[in-house]
Amino acid sequence: MTANPTPGNAPRPLPLDVERSRQAGSRFPKNLSVFERAWRTAEQLQTTGTAYYVQGFVAGSRSQPQEHAWVEQADRRIDPNLPHLPGDPAQFGYFVGRRFTVPQVRAAIASAQEDYPEDDALPIYDPAPYAYYGDRFLGGVAYQQAWAAAIAHRP
Cα separation of the two ends of the chain: 33
Q: How confident is the model at residue 40 (pLDDT cuts 50, 70, 90)?
A: very high
In the chain the beta strands, taken as DSSP E runs, fall at 52-59, 66-73, 76-78, 93-101, 131-133, 136-139
Strand order across the beta sheet in which 52-59 lies: 76-78, 66-73, 52-59, 93-101
Can you give the pTM of this predicted structure?
0.86
Is the pLDDT score of 1 beyond 90? no
Residue type, 141: V
C-beta separation of 69 from 27 below 8 A: no
pLDDT at 142: 84
